[in-house]
Structure 1
Amino acid sequence: MGIKEFYTKYKEYILFNKNIIISGICAFFAGAIFTQIYSLFDKSSFNNSLVTLMFEYAVYLPIFGYLYYTDNKTRYSDKISGKIDSRKVLRDFKKLVAAFAISEIIYSISKIIFHYQLLIMGILEPYQASMIGSLIAWAIFLVIINISVKAVNLFRSK
């Protein structure tokens, strides 16, 4: 299978992962900056881990939503009338929620645990602990989300 055939076959998955990675990178750096600033005001490692996670989601979710919609808006349009088919949007939204639910729970728990543990060790700056915790949690998340998307059949195989 050549590169073109591979891309054609897995285009939806490639775009999906691209969107996750782009929004994740934005949240990654925003979280690192935020956790460093937050540590100046609150010395609680647990609070820092938890609040940073919430801040990262506030960055990640809107960016992912925008990118996903931009890449997939033609999937939801009627080819003849050009109108949005709300049934398709709702169907895929439910599948996305199902796929993300378990993945995000696993990500959130692992991110907090790794971030917190690295903070209490006291050998890293808060931004370093956030970045390392995020990288570990993201590796786990990417595997789980791709398995979940396949399981809920978000994209039809060609």
Structure 2
Amino acid sequence: MNRATVLALAAMIFFGCTPQNNEEARQLIIGQWKYDTKAILEDVAQRKVSDQERAVVQGVMAVYQDAIFDFQADSTLLVMSNGIYQYGNWKLSKNGKSLYLNLSGQDQPNTIQELNPNHIILSPDPQRGIPYTRIFIPAGGQ
């Protein structure tokens, strides 16, 4: 095979897999999820965060401990917490490694550390005031 054929084949394989990875990730995300508050608080206890950051995380977990994050197939996101509903949308990057959440009118990128049927783990983002790993588990024993 000549070099151009090999490069074309490699590009087809690389770019051909991207939508499949994105679609597989989408199918895993669609559904209702909730924070695993215990795991999040344990993770924060192991990290080097300030007392103020720890207090913020504890406050967020108190507010969202019963919240349901409903990732719908049409890319709508509904967050239900203490009788309050927040509406927004979500999308994945083409490679399926970043989850964009929009509850405020602006897409917020979140790096996916791990994604499987049992949990979604999003990396901390201290620049946006999120000094903790967000760990989601299926809501309602899905």
TM-score, structure 2 normalization: 0.28
Higher helix fraction (1 or 2): 1
- Could you say which structure has the greater relative contact order, defined with CA pairs below 8 angstroms and 6 or more residues apart? 1
Higher strand fraction (1 or 2): 2
